[in-house]
Structure 1
Amino acid sequence: MKSWFSIFKSELSLIFEDKSILLTCLVAPLLYAFFVGSIYAEKEVKEIPVAIVDYDRSNLSAKVSWLLNASERVNVNGHFSSIEEALFYFNNLEVQGIVMFPKGFQGKTMNLEGAHVELILNNTKFLTSNEINKAVQHVILTVSGGVRMQYLVSNKIPIEQAKQKAQPVLPVIKSIYNATNNYGDYLLPVLLILILQQTLIIGFGQSIVHEFNHSMLKPLSNSTFFDFIKILSAKSIYYLGLYLAYLFVFFKLIFPHFYLTFNGSIGFHLFLGILFITTVLIYTVIFASFFKTTIGWTEVLAFSTYPLFLVSGYSWPIESMPRLLQLFANVLPSTPYFKVFNALAVEGANLSDITSELVHLLLLLLVGYGLLYLRFRSIRNRKLLRANS
């Protein structure tokens, strides 16, 4: 059995010899961080071009068009007499949406019969389509409230009472932990952490698959679990140090570069980062041990990023997922870590506020060691059976 330092040097040699691991662990984290971050660099979209198709040509449709153009997010980029004309500009991406007023829009609206306003959106850009949708809904609700109020006043109902009847429920929006009420500010911090997690899993997993099939982890029949842990610790210490350094760089440089909120002690964040990275490394060893080739490992993990993010509970509440997905989400290290990170960095929580998530992460770490021991016993027993047969 090689010494711990010899195994450590062998791992460094493997990293610099294997271009795939080198690019994944040394180049990809920073490259993807700035690439993904640049998508949300502005984080707000304004003056989104839309087209108006007005079959009604009434004062009310003209008023709604004017209000849309006056909104901060939307810019009316053309009025058309037919949907075919508007679709030409829409298909050429000169406008991102089309608002269509049907014939009889004013008459039906003023008579409180209700009129359908059709909206066509380019959903390839969810930020722009979402802003157009919100702007149109806001204007339509405002106009419909005014029409109802005018109708009530015409029926000799006092103005204050008419206001209350026209809009009995007024929305009051107060942004909590997101002053700009912007999806980019909410999403980007965790996406940056996700980049680190996925590049770590892919790169370290490639090294583990290589070792299980070609090198030090192959003759496990003559090794103890202590020897196994010795090898893994020597192999993983480099990744732990590297990704801890990445976390420091992200927190101190990349987060400020994109004007992202970051609260809490940097030391405590790095301590939590050690727990998270260690847990990810352990589970990576367990799952990578089932693969025969590094290409197979990379192909599978390359498609896991988005599903892992969706079930982590950050974009959708875990409690609203099917029971099976809830169980799966709760065995992912990212699930408690994302909650802890968001609570500390964005919401400014205290240690007492994250106790359950911290315990969750520690339990996953302990369970990981237990599963690692069982996996080691399984591999060693199988090798012993083959050697004796």
Structure 2
Amino acid sequence: MKTFINLIKREFRLFWSNSVLRLLFIGAPLLYGILFGYVYKKGKVTDLNIIVVDEDNTPLSNRLIDMLNDTEVLNVITVKPQGSGLKKAMIAYDGQALVSIPDRFEADVLQNRSPEINVDINLANILTANYASRAIQVVLGTLNAGMEMEALKKKGTPEFAAIDKYEAFKTNYVRLYNRSSNYMSFLWPGMLATIVQQVLLLALALSFAQEYERSTFKTELLAQTRSPLQAILVKCIPYWLMIIPIWLFFLVLQHWFRVPLAPEQTATNLLLAALFVASASLLGILVSILIPNQLKATEILMVVATPSFVVSGFTWPLSQMPRWIAYIADVIPLTHFLQGYRILLTQQGTLADIQRPLLALAILTAVFGSCAYVALRIKIKRALKAN
């Protein structure tokens, strides 16, 4: 036990002596956690600039413009009398949509000629385009139905009959879980988990690789222990201890940014997080054992870590990806952690609901750990034989 503790102290000294690693492992989660939190703090998109071309300039067209401007999502940045120079205006005003009201719009409506309003959506950004499109549809649909009901009432149709004409049946929409469609609650927790995996992989990529490069694997590490299991634990435990305050800091940030929590699932969250940290750490250890070069080991794990969020199925469903990409995603710990975390945090699930992600993380932990043990055992035997 004394030897084990001395080796743990040695790992801490190696960590603190590397200023780049220290900044990466501690600074990156703290900095990015705060930075991304303030990026998505607003949670929803509002005041999207739209341009209106009003060739009619009548009370009805002005009413439509006021309705567009009264919505939380839209902001009528400018109204043009004609459709010239619209492409430059869309770029200059960062316009997300263009609403064109034709000439004689009010007159055609009053004479039942069914005029057409053209809406051009800027799809350069899919997120803002969807928000703008939905808001414009609601405004135009509301105005259209309201005018039809007013016309029927002027003809003597009772109000309830006019409403029934446009509501043959009623539809109730119930928003489950993330009711406000808050982007902060949806995206930010997943990005924090991605940061944790990235720093774990990059930090542990250096664990054995730096021993090989400095020639301390034989002279210092093997001089104190020849047990592969003990050596792996010695490399992992310091980072497992240091990740605890980072997770606690993320918990504080969740309170600060008012991201919903599930305190009744604390134990389940801890189990999920522990398996995630263990599997990611052992993946980094395995690569570090196999690749005796710090730069190459880091590059390999960067290849794994960089696309992990994209292929995890968190923002784009795995069912819509080719199967070979889904198979790759299954080997990355982040994929299963985000699946379980979404169920626990957003869908308010229980331990029984995340059995598959937990089992997948447990299998990855066992596979990476076993491979690392065998690889290190071979390395130790070769080193002792060479001596």
Larger RCO: 1 or 2 (CA < 8 Å, sep 6+): 2
Q: 1:191, CA displacement in angstroms? A: 1.6
Distance of 1:289 and 1:148 partners within structure 2: 73
3-state SS in 2 of match to 1:41: coil
**Equivalences, count:** 379
Structure 2: tracts of 5 or more residues without a match: none
> What is the aligned partner in structure 2 of residue 249 from structure 1?
249
2:119 aligns to what?
117
* Conserved 8 A contact 1:102-1:117: no
- Tell me the TM-score normalized by structure 1: 0.81
**TM-aligned CA distance change 1:213 to 1:56, over 3 Å:** farther
CA distance in 2 between counterparts of 1:88 and 1:113 reads: 27
Task: Kindly indicate whether residue 261 of structure 2 is the aligned counterpart of residue 258 of structure 1.
Answer: no
CA distance in 1, matches of 2:304, 2:168: 46
Query: Is the CA contact (8 Å cut-off) linking 2:73 and 2:131 kept in structure 1?
Result: yes
Q: Distance in 1 between matches of 2:208 and 2:84?
A: 58
Alignment-derived partner of residue 71 in structure 2? 71
Task: Summarize the Cα distance change of 1:218–1:119 in structure 2 as closer, same or farther, 3 Å threshold.
Answer: farther
Shift of 1:25: 0.9
Structure 2 Cα separation of the partners of residues 362 and 244 of structure 1: 20
User: For 1:224-373, what aligned pairs fall within 5 Å after superposition?
Assistant: 227-251=227-251, 253-263=252-262, 264-291=264-291, 293-299=293-299, 301-302=301-302, 305=305, 307-373=307-373
1:316-368 residue CA offsets vs partner (Å, 9 max, x unmatched): 22233211122122222222222222222333322222223222222222222
The percent of aligned pairs where both chains have the same amino acid is 24
Q: 1:96 to 1:228 in 2, by over 3 A?
A: farther
| TM-superposed deviation, 1:310 | 2.1
Q: 1:31-55, CA deviations, whole angstroms, 9 ceiling, x for partnerless residues?
A: 1100010101121333333322334
Contact 2:279 2:364 in 1 (8 A): yes
CA distance in structure 1 between the aligned counterparts of 2:306 and 2:80, rounded to whole angstroms: 40
Deviation, structure 1 residue 211: 2.6
Deviation at 1:127, TM superposition (A): 5.1
Give the Cα separation in 2 of the matches to 1:172 and 1:376: 60
C-alpha separation in 2, matches of 1:246 and 1:177 = 27
* Cα distance between partner residues in 2 of 1:36 and 1:255: 12
| Alpha-carbon separation, structure 2, partners of 1:44 and 1:17 | 43
Post-superposition offset of 1:81 = 3.3
Deviation at 1:197, TM superposition (A): 1.8
Query: C-alpha displacement at 1:286, in angstroms?
Result: 1.8
Task: Please state how far the C-alpha of 1:270 moved relative to its aligned partner.
Answer: 2.5
Note the alpha carbon deviations across 1:181-213, whole angstroms, 9 max, x for none.
Answer: 222221112222222221222222233432343
Counterparts of 1:342 and 1:281 in 2: how far apart (Å)? 22
Q: Residues 115 and 303 from structure 1, CA distance in 2 versus in 1: closer, same or farther, beyond 3 angstroms? A: farther
- Matching residue of 2:135: 135
1:7 corresponds in structure 2 to 7
Whole-Å separation in 1 of the counterparts to 2:171 and 2:158: 23
Unaligned runs of 5+ in 1: none
Q: Which moved more, 1:285-294 or 1:20-29?
A: 285-294
User: Match of 2:358, SS?
Assistant: helix
Q: State the one-letter code of the partner of 1:173.
A: Y
Q: Distance in 2 between matches of 1:323 and 1:187?
A: 24
Q: More deviation in 136-145 or 321-330?
A: 136-145
How far does residue 297 in structure 1 lie from its aligned partner after superposition? Answer: 4.3
Conservation of the 8 A alpha-carbon contact between 2:40 and 2:188 = yes
CA RMSD across the alignment: 3.8
Q: Are the equivalent residues in 2 in contact too, given 1:212–1:289 (CA < 8 A)?
A: no
1:172-183 matches, cutoff 5 A = 172-183=172-183
Aligned residue identity for 1:16 = W
Question: Secondary structure of 1:79's match?
Answer: strand
Match for 1:203: what amino acid? Answer: A
Over 3 Å counting, the alpha-carbon distance change for 1:366 and 1:290 in structure 2 is: closer
Deviations 1:246-281 (A, max 9, x none): 212322x11100101111343442333222211111
Contact 2:61–2:101 at 8 Å: present in 1 too?
no
Letter in 1 for 2:204: F
User: Aligned partners of 1:12, 1:19: CA distance in 2, in Å?
Assistant: 12
Taking structure 2 as the reference length, the TM-score comes to 0.81
* 2:99 match: 100
Partner of 2:375: 375
Give, as a single letter, the amino acid of the residue that structure 2 aligns with 1:117. Answer: V
